[in-house]
Amino acid sequence: MELSKFSYYSIKRFFFIPLILSLSYLIYFSCPKIITNAMLETVGKTLTISNSIYSATIDFSKSIYDRLVYFQNLEAENLQLKLEMESLRQAKNLENTLKAENIELKKMLNVPQEIHKSFITAKVVGTSISPFGASAIIQAGANEGVKINDIVKGKEGLIGRIIEVSSNYSTVMLVDDHNSRIPVFASNSEFRGILAKQNNDLKIIYLDKSHNLKVGETIYTSGDGKIFSSGIPVAIIVKITDKEVYVETIEKFNGFGFVFVESGFHTN
């Protein structure tokens, strides 16, 4: 880069000398009687050629200088890209290593492989909520692959499970049905119990008396019982007494709209 600048200014000074000499010649011998037409033509042509060569050389030098700057910047960008690619390669290698270690740990701990699940969307066509039960009918049945004990969810959490299937329709037992029993655990304390409806209240029963549950804590399915997969949001604790823990369902099911039917976890 420094060599380019030196060449640029050296050429500029070199071609500036003839120009100064020619002008000095005209000024020094400026007497009209002495300067002949032929001499004037010679001086004029010399100046014209000198200026042309000077301009062309300056343009060429500037072009060379710009190219050097361009290639220098290109080299810097190329180096930066190489560094970024190396960083990505290392991150990918780390990801592959962690995946391999995870697989080996699962084998050592005898952890079962992940269960493949399938989902379908179904329209709710009717509900039946009374003191004796809470259920809904959805427009999806055996023809769509729905099976008994399939899980039914909404946008926020669990709605219930399939208890009856026809060709094109299915019956869903809702979470707050008196016959529903859902194994659950708390998000913070991880105490386990059973979610059930008693009288008109939804409670967690069979809970260890030493629990430290708190109001506002989220309740999830525990996966016990091989019907509901683990980790589905079900309810939120709204009241705690000496003997009872009261909850409200997360999914505010109003009997309209669409639900998601999940298959693949339970075993018949």
Q: Which residues pair with 162 in a beta bridge?
A: 172
For residue 249, give the nearest of 224, 218, 225, 222 by alpha carbon. Answer: 218
What does the alpha-carbon distance between residue 141 and residue 123 come to, in Å, rounded to a whole number?
A: 11
End-to-end CA, the chain? 78
pLDDT of residue 36: 58
In whole angstroms, what is the distance from residue 126 CA to residue 146 CA? 17
What's residue 5's pLDDT?
47
14 against 202, higher pLDDT: 202
The pTM for the full model equals: 0.56
* Between 203 and 75, the higher pLDDT residue: 203
Question: In this structure, what are the phi and psi dihedrals at residue 94, rounded to the nearest 5 degrees?
Answer: -65, -40
* Phi, psi values for residue 86, rounded to 5°: -65, -40
pLDDT tens-digit series, residues 72-126: 888 888 878 877 787 777 777 677 677 767 766 766 666 555 556 688 999 999 8
User: Residue ranges of the domains in the chain?
Assistant: 2-107, 118-263
pLDDT tens-digit series, residues 137-169 = 999 999 999 999 999 999 889 999 999 999 999
At a CB cut-off of 8 Å and minimum separation 6, what does 177 contact?
133, 134, 135, 160, 197
The encoded tokens of residue 131 equal 């003191």
The model's pLDDT over 2-34, given as tens digits with 9 standing for 90+, comes to: 444 444 445 445 445 555 555 555 554 554 544
Mean pLDDT of the chain: 79
* Domain 118-263 homologous superfamily, CATH: Rod shape-determining protein MreC, domain 1 (2.40.10.340)
